[in-house]
Amino acid sequence: TDKIVVAIDGPAGSGKSSVSKAAARRLGFSYQDTGAAYRALAWYVAERGIDTADEAAVVEALRDFDYAIGIDPDNYFVRVGGIDVEEAIREPRISAIVSSVARILPVRAYLVELFRHVIETSDTPGIITEGRDITTVVCPDAPVRILLTASEEARMARRSAEISGQSAADVAKNLLSRDAQDSRVVDFMNAADGVTVIDSTDLDFDQTIQAVVDLIDAQA
């Protein structure tokens, strides 16, 4: 039988990571967080003291970028050079520079191939891959493609609840400026042809997971 490939895109704070991971767990699928790869690369170049404005140096750093992820939702990890970076890559200092790494086209080309390889070599009945350009660039032919959205207010509120040590106003400012920068490179605010929109503004976490699982059950 064919592996079920599920592509989910959405803006920051839409809840797509936690929802995708929970839906994968419920279905016995693998889960791939592509934002983690951009964040891990941003962490790695920061670690090496490379200025992200120096695009050639960032591209050069890809040669030694030793990235590994666990796609089992119950045994999920992100490692660079064997170091667990799952927490470090979520820090505000990384969120602040990740867009400047993600806009470098050779970086995108490299990571898109890596994401496709992970999908091809996964050995579960299905895999949910989540990010900004999964429905349009990474897997435009996936049988299930979802744009997960939520109102700006809902996204800010959810992200504020996740992050401690930052005021709600700072969280909102950072999130909006990241979305604005990212939107210049990929369109994740509008659904491409054939992509189903799930608006989670008025859904709680469990209802959102259920909406995703129902769609996968119906379309796959």
Residue from 30, 69, 133, 148 in contact with ligand C5P (CB under 6 A): 133
Phi, psi of 138 (to 5 degrees): -70, -50
> Letter for the amino acid at 115?
F
At closest approach, how far in Å is the CB of 147 from ligand C5P? Answer: 13
At closest approach, how far in Å is the CB of 1 from ligand C5P? Answer: 27
At closest approach, how far in Å is the CB of 95 from ligand C5P? Answer: 7
| Separation of alpha carbons 115 and 7, rounded Å | 11
For ligand C5P, the binding residues in 153-182 under the rule CB under 6 A are: 178, 182
Residue from 32, 34, 135, 208 in contact with ligand C5P (CB under 6 A): 34
Tokens for 180? 């604005």
| Separation of alpha carbons 49 and 44, rounded Å | 9
**Residues 6 or more apart whose Cβ sits within 8 Å of residue 120:** none
Phi, psi of 148 (to 5 degrees): -100, 115
Residue 132 as a binder of ligand C5P (CB under 6 A): the answer is: yes
Binding residues vs ligand C5P (CB under 6 A): 12, 34-35, 38-39, 98-99, 102, 131-134, 178, 182
